[in-house]
Amino acid sequence: MVDAWHIYHVENCQYTIPVKDKFIAVVCFNPNPYGFLINSKICLYIQKRPELLACQVKISADKYGFLHHDSYIDCSNILSFKGSELNGIQKIQNNTRKEIKKVVSNTKLIAPIYKKLICGERD
């Protein structure tokens, strides 16, 4: 079963070029699991764009045992996944969850429907 606020491993992730294995932070459902890619570094393209750079949430290898080094959750682009492609790794820690919500609530890059789902706002 896939749960929100967990990190999953995806083999041959369709959202990367070239296709490769990725870690994903699942943050909501609509109705499929939706999440953000986790990257080992912040690419130059993002570094040069303040609106994208502000959407990177650092996670440290000492708190997330599956990581080999500190990494970044890219909260600038929410992506849909099939539950069958997600292999559970670890629950997202509360401090990381709060930081993701803060970043999402402050960006204009995420559609309002997903902001509400992620940040827990209700109509």
**5 conformational bin, left if phi > 0, alpha if psi -120 to 50, beta if neither:** left
Our measurement of the distance from residue 49's CA atom to the centroid of its chain's CA atoms, rounded to an integer in Å, reads 19
Each residue of 47-96: pLDDT tens digit? 999 999 999 999 999 999 999 999 999 999 999 999 999 998 899 999 99
What is the pTM for the complete model shown? Answer: 0.94
Each residue of 36-48: pLDDT tens digit? 999 999 999 999 9
User: Residue 71 and residue 40: Cα distance in Å, rounded?
Assistant: 4
Neighbouring residues of 92: CB distance < 8 A, sequence distance ≥ 6? 5, 6, 7, 25, 100
Are 30 and 4 a contacting pair, CB within 8 Å?
Answer: no
